[in-house]
């Protein structure tokens, strides 16, 4: 049986400081675990290698956390083992996430040399007050210089992450951030512009709950989103997902795997994967992860469901039902401007088709040549549709 291509996600849990809004599985002050983390990640990869033998990996995404904190030697070892253990497509997209303060010319040269061909940098804002609010440790100048260094190292596919809808943000400061990055040495090839969300159990959520911070007005946030889409279209970017824009066809192929509900192997603490129809989560604590992989790895082949999932660091897993697969395909695929092919949704679609009929009737979705897409209004209120997909009785 031939399998469709698959992606690899590697989670790097280290950060220099923990940003106030961040709910990713990342930690400051545990750099002493870097070597052990790498040993465990390589051991986990080795455990998976037989399981995914014969599948071609079209993308690798080294994310976090802050992967640009890893030494040249660590990146070299990681990428060498990935190539040795897995079948990488000759044109595989290999992304590494970086933060401006940890980008260094030597490290960038090493990433290039070992196959990284895409850099995704967390800039977020170029306004000093906003950067302080977010607990970011770089300034606007450092971000611009880091971008130059990435280009000088020869990277031709560079994404920048930006955040809008910050409390107290004005249209001018957001506009200024966007305009500046568009003028950096020809600008980036890809932009991810996310509206700030206040995630539970973050310092930001505590500040909002205590009234010290007031969230931005949703109508104003929607205005910023509209302005962004229009401005980036004028700058030659194609919006291909709710928050993502690409120039020259350089869409993020790895993220497209998620949005198209395809499979990806994930390793590292807290990583979520989807392999052979099973979704799984790896233990979040970096120390537990290291312990489980390095001390239990040898027994991994003797477990029950884990018989099918070779990593001893997996804590949760489920075989995805046909219905859940359909709902995942719709909720992630409808974020894409290309939408989903209604003809490929299978028999299960009959159970929720009425919801999409309702969305079309209300101007939230459209049908075009067999594809189902959300309208601009539909993208803005996508959750209204997704709630109904989970409970079609609501329409």
Positions that interact with ligand SF4 (CB under 6 A): 15, 18-19, 22, 24, 26, 64-66, 99, 122
Least Å distance between CB 151 and ligand SF4?
A: 22
| Residue 102 structure tokens | 């940890």
d(CA 210, CA 250): 42
Report the residue number, 204 or 326, with the smaller CB distance to ligand SF4. 204
Least Å distance between CB 235 and ligand SF4?
A: 25
Report the residue number, 122 or 270, with the smaller CB distance to ligand SF4. 122
Bond from prior residue into 65 cis (ω within 30 degrees of 0): yes
Give the other-Cβ count within 10 Å of 362's Cβ. Answer: 15
Least Å distance between CB 142 and ligand SF4?
A: 14
Report the residue number, 55 or 254, with the smaller CB distance to ligand SF4. 254
Least Å distance between CB 27 and ligand SF4?
A: 8
Is the backbone of residue 82 left (phi > 0), alpha (psi -120 to 50) or beta?
alpha
Least Å distance between CB 135 and ligand SF4?
A: 7
Among the residues of 16-170, which ranges form H helices?
34-49, 72-85, 105-113, 128-133, 140-152
Report the residue number, 13 or 378, with the smaller CB distance to ligand SF4. 13
Report the residue number, 65 or 297, with the smaller CB distance to ligand SF4. 65
Output the CA torsion sign for 352, 353, 359, 362: negative
Report the residue number, 100 or 273, with the smaller CB distance to ligand SF4. 100
The string of DSSP letters for 51-83 reads TTTTPEEEEEEEEES-GGGS-HHHHHHHHHHHH
| Residue 163 structure tokens | 């955040």
32 contacts: CB under 8 Å, gap ≥ 6: none
Least Å distance between CB 124 and ligand SF4?
A: 8
């Amino acid at each position: 049986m031939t399998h469709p291509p698959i992606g690899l996600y590697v989670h790097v849990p280290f950060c220099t400081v923990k940003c106030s809004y961040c709910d990713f599985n990342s930690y400051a002050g545990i750099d002493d675990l870097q070597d052990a983390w790498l040993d465990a990640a390589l051991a986990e990869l080795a455990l998976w290698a037989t399981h995914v033998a014969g599948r071609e990996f079209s993308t690798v995404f080294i994310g976090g956390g802050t992967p640009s904190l890893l030494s040249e030697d660590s990146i070299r070892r990681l990428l060498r083992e990935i190539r040795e253990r897995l079948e990488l497509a000759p044109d595989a997209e290999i992304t590494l996430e970086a933060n401006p303060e940890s980008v260094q010319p030597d490290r960038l040269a090493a990433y290039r040399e070992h196959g990284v061909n895409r850099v995704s940098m967390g800039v977020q804002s170029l306004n000093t007050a906003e950067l302080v609010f977010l607990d970011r440790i770089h300034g606007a100048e450092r971000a611009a210089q880091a971008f130059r260094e990435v280009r000088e190292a020869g990277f031709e596919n560079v994404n920048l992450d930006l955040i809008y809808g910050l409390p107290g943000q004005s249209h001018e400061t957001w506009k200024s951030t966007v305009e500046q990055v568009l003028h950096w040495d020809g600008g980036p090839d890809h932009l991810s512009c996310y509206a700030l969300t206040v995630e539970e159990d973050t310092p930001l959520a505590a500040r909002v709950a205590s009234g010290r911070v007031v969230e931005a007005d949703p109508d104003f946030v929607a205005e910023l989103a509209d302005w962004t889409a229009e401005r980036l279209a004028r700058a030659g970017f194609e919006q291909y997902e709710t928050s993502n824009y690409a120039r020259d066809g350089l869409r993020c192929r790895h993220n497209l795997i998620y949005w198209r509900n395809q499979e990806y192997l994930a390793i590292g603490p807290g990583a979520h994967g989807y392999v052979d129809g099973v979704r799984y989560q790896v233990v979040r604590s970096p120390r537990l992860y290291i312990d489980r992989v390095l001390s239990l790895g040898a027994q991994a082949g003797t477990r029950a469901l884990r018989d099918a999932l070779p990593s001893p660091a997996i804590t949760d897993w489920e075989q995805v039902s046909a219905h859940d697969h359909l709902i995942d395909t719709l909720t992630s695929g409808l974020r894409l401007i290309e939408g989903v092919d209604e003809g490929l949704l299978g028999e299960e679609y009959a159970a929720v088709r009425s919801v999409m009929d309702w969305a079309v009737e209300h101007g939230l979705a459209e049908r075009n040549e067999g594809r189902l897409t959300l309208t601009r209004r539909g993208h803005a209120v996508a959750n209204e549709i997704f709630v109904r997909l989970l409970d079609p009785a609501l329409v």
